[in-house]
Copies of this chain bind each other. A is one copy, B any other.
Amino acid sequence: MTRAETTGLRERTRRAVRAELAELALGLFVERGYERTTVEDIAAAAGVSRRSFFRYFPTKEDVLFGDVDELAEQIAEDIRARPGDEDAWACLHAVLRDWEPRIHAAQRELTGLRLIETTPALRARLHQKRDELRDRISAALCERPSPLLDAFTADLLTAAAGAALDAVAREWLRSDGTADRAALIDHAFTLLTPRP
């Protein structure tokens, strides 16, 4: 194994092709609809073979989702790094408020989100990703020293926080992208603040 580092020609072209596939795929999906676009179409548009498409993305759905795994790990780290005596809900609020724009960006803003929201297959995939994220966050919360959360409470709070983000995203869509997401997040988290 010769380390690839960040800047081999190989790695660079790989990233470029990946980005182009994602770009073209989004365009085609918006143009003809997700179901009416085949992997063949996307691959052809980018000038690669169908077979190679699946070497860049494990499934057709994944072409729309940036690397959530990476994101999830960073968020979990942020949670572990918070002051140990902080209230779990406040911790979730702070960290997720901070990360929301990046979670969002990973979903291609309005165009992508709208596509995801109106395509059952994509919504399903989104939920799957969200599940992974929830598990990691919940685990990170349990590892925090002070508030001593049991698995159920940690899971419950994380799920509620996820529900809040989800509701915010939908409201933002309803407002055609004009709503202030940060304010909505604050509102949602305040409303749901757990009883002591």
CA distance A195 to B187 in the complex (A): 11
CA distance A123 to B125 in the complex (A): 10
Q: How many copies does the complex hold?
A: 2
Per-residue CB contact flags for chain A residues 130-160 toward chain B (1 = under 8 Å, else 0) read: 0100000000000000000001110110011
Pick the contact of A195 from B152, B162, B174, B193 — CB < 8 Å? B193
B155 close to A171 (CB less than 8 A) = yes
Count residues of A near B (Cβ-Cβ below 8 Å): 30
CB A119 to nearest CB in B, in angstroms, measures 11
CB A176 to nearest CB in B, in angstroms, measures 14
CA distance A174 to B150 in the complex (A): 12
Can you list 7 residue pairs at the A/B interface with Cβ under 8 Å?
A123-B131, A127-B127, A152-B174, A156-B164, A159-B164, A162-B163, A163-B163
Chain A positions within 8 Å of B, measured between CB atoms, are 120, 123-125, 127-128, 131, 151-153, 155-156, 159-160, 162-164, 166-167, 170-171, 174, 184, 188, 190-195
